[in-house]
Structure 1
């Protein structure tokens, strides 16, 4: 069996999504997610100009060898563009292999470690009252875990908060980067009040999560972790930029609030020190941005040695292809923690028919051979690419800050 052809499909049913489709000479094909939010076309070029020509004629069943070939052969290793492109190839090849075996992907990985996958939803609000209303909506839908983000008094626009109540927030919605204003002091003074109100209304059993989005210094993050300890968060996410992995050791010294990080990570080298020092509790790297199933297996197995669990990124800046593959991975991986879930638009689900299903706060990946997600190319062609950028952040004095 040989790889006969491969192509990249770019579509924008609400936001830009990039899909790699690999076809074999026996008529079996697989698809992988190649979406890198805000830099989609960089991955398209990497795939079309560098990887696809090297794939033609290769044996699609030699997944490990192909991964090593693409990773070691590049010389300029790692980085988001390279690892997203490799991940797309890897995901598509696992899809093909599971289809050839006539089994769902989780069976090929080693079978079930659990019957269902707990996911968390996103509740936002411009103020505490509207935020509580959204948490209530998620509880009624059956969610056992909810990420809570709220507008901050005195800050005009806050990441993670929908501009219109009841709608999804969409950070990548402008042709040039929007500029937001940030105040750490206002944020730190407000967040404990938010979680006090949530716990008062919903009690101790609902799992609560919060995303800082890299905006604090280590000692500020330590302060926040201590401030929210009475509300028993499931995790505090991305509290500081993680280029300095030792920063998390400082945070850990001052708080017992569980720490999660990694949605911007691309390889095991981004999180090796964090995991080995047990400075984090959850690793959030995604299959799409961290080298695919082959590489995430290495990260997850390494993390398990140090009691670190998975909590994969699952926002709508990843396509349903990634979500489908992630749910199979979640079903198998022994050290599973939780899976992020942001529902895609109906238009997106029309482009990507899928086997996975939601029920009362949990997902099952389905029993379709492969990862269970396909692409309708005619539907995809209805939604052409639209340039869209993520915003940037500035402090109140105009200093560019972490977003």
Structure 2
């Protein structure tokens, strides 16, 4: 069996998705997700011009060797574009291997460690009461873990809570440019503790709550927030501060016992090695699409388990159902799995293009037993949703200084 062709598709059913299809000379094919939100076409060029030509004629079952070839065989290693391209090829090869074996990928990883994959849902509201009402809906639907995000009084737009209820892509109009949002740490601190105080008063302590700071705070500000939230027993505080300098989390860790989660922007094990090894975090949130695929995430997962760090893969709506499937197979296997972010199965267009049989029962994802990853891709449906250039927002302080979005 040889790799005969590699196709790259870009479609936009509400969001842009880059999908890779690796086809063998025997007709078996596999799918991978290569989406890098706001830089999609850079990955397309990397795949079409630099990766695909090197793989034609290779044995698709040599997953580890191909991964090392695409990583070590390039002088310019790492980075989101390179690693997303590697990830997509890697997912597709695992998909092929599962189909050849007539087994779901999780069986190739070692089988199930649990009966289902625990999800956390999002409750995003225009104010605290609105957020808690939405959390109530999730609880009534069986979710045991919920991320709480409430609009910040005095700011026009808050991360996770769009003022006019449009998607970020709709905010960009006919000439796509990054939307600009305002940030104030002082105003954020004025409301954030009240959100979790009221959440515990209303729901008690049987429901897990998380919160995403989205890297808006400095390390000492993040430490202060973690300390303030300790009485409300969060499952974790996500992206409390930027950790490009991994030592920054020593400041946060040494001042609070609130569990910490980070990793959605990381691309390799090296980005999170010190955080894990020094036990400065409790959950690692790398995504299969952005960190090298199933092969790379399995390696990170095993490394994290040595230091009692759990996995909580990123699950944003800009990751396609192919990435979701990769996470599901890893999650059901990983002995140190923690929780999976879940934003639903998307809109009608997305579900026309990507077909799967994953289901949700009482806040848990239940596995499909289909061979490989268990996702099919409808090329004709994808063609009805052409690529649209677009960006994620940028953030500025109230005085105009560019800040972390």
- Shorter-chain TM range is over 0.9
Contiguous gaps of at least 5 residues in structure 1: none
Residue 398, structure 1, aligned to residue 400, structure 2: yes
1:245-266 deviation line (CA, Å, top 9, x unaligned)? 0111110111100000000000
1:330-354 deviation line (CA, Å, top 9, x unaligned)? 0001100000111211210111001
Question: 2:135 — aligned with what?
Answer: 135
Residue 319, structure 1, aligned to residue 316, structure 2: no
CA contact (8 A) 2:156 2:163 kept: no
CA RMSD of aligned residues (A): 1.0
2: distance between equivalents of 1:100 and 1:273? Answer: 38
2: distance between equivalents of 1:297 and 1:208? Answer: 26
1:266-319 deviation line (CA, Å, top 9, x unaligned)? 000000000010000000000000000111111111100000000000111100
Task: Give the drift of 1:164.
Answer: 5.0
Contiguous gaps of at least 5 residues in structure 2: none
Question: 1:37 — aligned with what?
Answer: 37
CA contact (8 A) 2:9 2:18 kept: yes
2: distance between equivalents of 1:308 and 1:186? Answer: 32
Question: 2:206 — aligned with what?
Answer: 205
CA contact (8 A) 1:125 1:131 kept: yes
CA contact (8 A) 1:47 1:85 kept: yes
CA contact (8 A) 1:213 1:239 kept: yes
Question: 1:367 — aligned with what?
Answer: 369
Task: Give the drift of 1:172.
Answer: 4.2
Residue 389, structure 1, aligned to residue 391, structure 2: yes
2: distance between equivalents of 1:150 and 1:345? Answer: 24
2: distance between equivalents of 1:350 and 1:141? Answer: 25
Task: Give the drift of 1:163.
Answer: 3.5
Matches within 5 A, 1:165-204: 170-173=167-170, 174=172, 175-204=176-205
1: distance between equivalents of 2:390 and 2:12? Answer: 10
Matches within 5 A, 1:72-221: 72-164=72-164, 170-173=167-170, 174=172, 175-221=176-222
Aligned residue pair count: 400
CA contact (8 A) 2:168 2:179 kept: no
1: distance between equivalents of 2:347 and 2:204? Answer: 31
Question: 1:230 — aligned with what?
Answer: 231
Question: 2:19 — aligned with what?
Answer: 19
Question: 1:291 — aligned with what?
Answer: 292
Residue 49, structure 1, aligned to residue 49, structure 2: yes
- Is the partner of 1:374 in helix, strand or coil? strand
- Is the partner of 1:363 in helix, strand or coil? strand
TM-score (norm 2): 0.97
